[in-house]
Structure 1
Amino acid sequence: MNTSGRKVAVVTGASQGIGAGLVDAYRELGYRVAATSRTIPPSGDPDVLTVRGDIADPGTAERLAAAVTGRFGRIDTLVNNAGLFIGKPFTEYSLEDYEAVVGVNLTGFFRITQLAVEQMLRQGSGHLVQITTSLADHASSTEPSLLASLTKGGLQSATKSLAIEYAAHGIRSNTVALGIVRTPMHPGDPGGELARRHPLGRMGEVADVVEAVLYLEAASFVTGVTLPVDGGRSAGH
């Protein structure tokens, strides 16, 4: 059990990109971290616990929750970062596309969040952060993304619901809604087309997302919000 008083963060989708950046950022804050993804390697840091598995499988969430509470004794923050994006015209989505996106974005969120909230209730405090997309609220004719709107929009509504349900228990819930971020999914933008989709004229960086999550981490009077980190896309063009 955690006898040190040090806080513990859980990050899903943590093997690369935003997730890996969040693991590093929470470690720099002095948190112990539990990190999961399908391909995450073991960590040489004794304060980083890695659990390999598909978050769409509820069994992964259960193994993760048991491992982190068994080793560190608590969960102070859960960042639901794991996500799958498939963009195509609505009528071209296959049932396999639907099941894959719903599995990661909704089922993956559902079980690990249940287990984290149960632990947070025992502690009397906690923070939930969902990573979504600003397309959920601001659709684009050039970027058809129904499954993102269906799933990530659902997470934004769930964020508010959780914030109100658990406010009296010291548990906050917030969302960070992203534009296009330079990650292994979008490693570059040779022609500048992705940058031009943002009024600020550039793609987001992992550091921009980390900065927003850490703001919410420290903002103890903020709950139930969706914070756009999208270069102005949600404000319009």
Structure 2
Amino acid sequence: MNQQTKVVVVTGASQGIGAEIVKALRARDYRVVATARSIQPSDDPNVVTVAGDISDAATAQRVISQAVERFGRVDTLVNNAGIFIAKPFTAYEEEDYAAVIGVNVSGFFNITQRAVAQMEKQGSGHVVSITTSLVDHPISGVPSVLASLSKGGIAAATRSLAIEYAKRGIRANAVSPGIIKSPMHPEETHAALNALHPVGHMGEMRDVVDAVLFLDDASFVTGEILHVDGGQSAGH
């Protein structure tokens, strides 16, 4: 199978960065299996959508099964689905914890395990996950313990996967963004959010998309946590 027919699974694909990743992959003529809770059917015969909660193992199984049934393989998994709840640590409730761990950790585990099992059969594959720069560089005024607990675990798991599967043709990398300009950040918050980055502005969704595409192309790169954060993780 040449690059033009690569098959990519994208989680959290119904909007924002996930939807932009799907568009970029289709621009390369890759086949895509896109999943999210509220994702709608696609008119594109080379995009299969699977609606469901990624924290549910049954959803993960359906996604990978659909990829294999429709396109014959899984070349890349993009773990983009994620929840961020900003609250003071002592204000988190059980529901917050369950939601964040369910999507960010269980979702990662469920679909990555099944995707890697398929990649092992093929003798090749790539897992790229989206974390957050807050894991490495917490910011006063941006409470993020649950984000660090969950996404920090994904960063560590990425390095572990990279080493465990290095000799089996499977790579694992992650993109660690700063604050990205998207519909979730109202215009009136932009000035304050811009100031949190040494370069003086938030990132664009395209910056994260470009990083995902770079890592997917970079066959000699594995175990990398690529910071796309305007210098945030380097210091202030």
1:80 aligns with 2:63: no
Q: Secondary structure at the match of 1:192?
A: helix
Q: Secondary structure at the match of 1:114?
A: helix
**Matched residues in 2 for 1:75 and 1:139: separation?**
35
In structure 2, list runs of 5 or more residues that go unmatched: none
Deviation at 1:3, TM superposition (A): 11
Q: Contact 1:127–1:173 (CA<8 Å) still a contact in 2?
A: yes
**Matched residues in 1 for 2:34 and 2:75: separation?**
14
Q: Contact 1:182–1:188 (CA<8 Å) still a contact in 2?
A: no
- After superposition, the Cα gap between the structure-2 partners of 1:43 and 1:151, relative to the gap in structure 1 and judged at 3 Å, is same
Identity of aligned residues (%): 62
Matches within 5 A, 1:108-123: 108-123=107-122
- After superposition, the Cα gap between the structure-2 partners of 1:187 and 1:221, relative to the gap in structure 1 and judged at 3 Å, is farther
Partner of 1:158: 157
Q: Contact 1:176–1:212 (CA<8 Å) still a contact in 2?
A: yes
Matches within 5 A, 1:124-163: 124-163=123-162
**Matched residues in 1 for 2:152 and 2:81: separation?**
15
Partner of 1:64: 63
1:26 aligns with 2:25: yes
Residue type of the alignment partner of 2:118: Q
What is the RMSD computed on CA atoms of the aligned residues? Answer: 1.5
Residue type of the alignment partner of 2:109: F
1:173 aligns with 2:172: yes
- After superposition, the Cα gap between the structure-2 partners of 1:206 and 1:191, relative to the gap in structure 1 and judged at 3 Å, is closer
Deviation at 1:188, TM superposition (A): 2.8
Q: Contact 1:189–1:195 (CA<8 Å) still a contact in 2?
A: no
Q: Structure 1, residues 143-170: CA drift from partner, whole Å, max 9, x if none?
A: 1110000000000000000000001011
In structure 1, list runs of 5 or more residues that go unmatched: none
Deviation at 1:183, TM superposition (A): 1.7
Q: Contact 1:61–1:112 (CA<8 Å) still a contact in 2?
A: yes
Residue type of the alignment partner of 1:77: T
Residue type of the alignment partner of 1:93: Y
Q: Secondary structure at the match of 2:203?
A: coil
**Matched residues in 1 for 2:27 and 2:33: separation?**
14
Q: Secondary structure at the match of 1:40?
A: coil
TM-score (norm 2): 0.97
Q: Contact 2:4–2:28 (CA<8 Å) still a contact in 1?
A: no
**Matched residues in 1 for 2:49 and 2:93: separation?**
33
**Matched residues in 2 for 1:90 and 1:174: separation?**
29
**Matched residues in 1 for 2:149 and 2:3: separation?**
41
Partner of 1:219: 218
* Number of equivalences: 236
Deviation at 1:231, TM superposition (A): 0.9
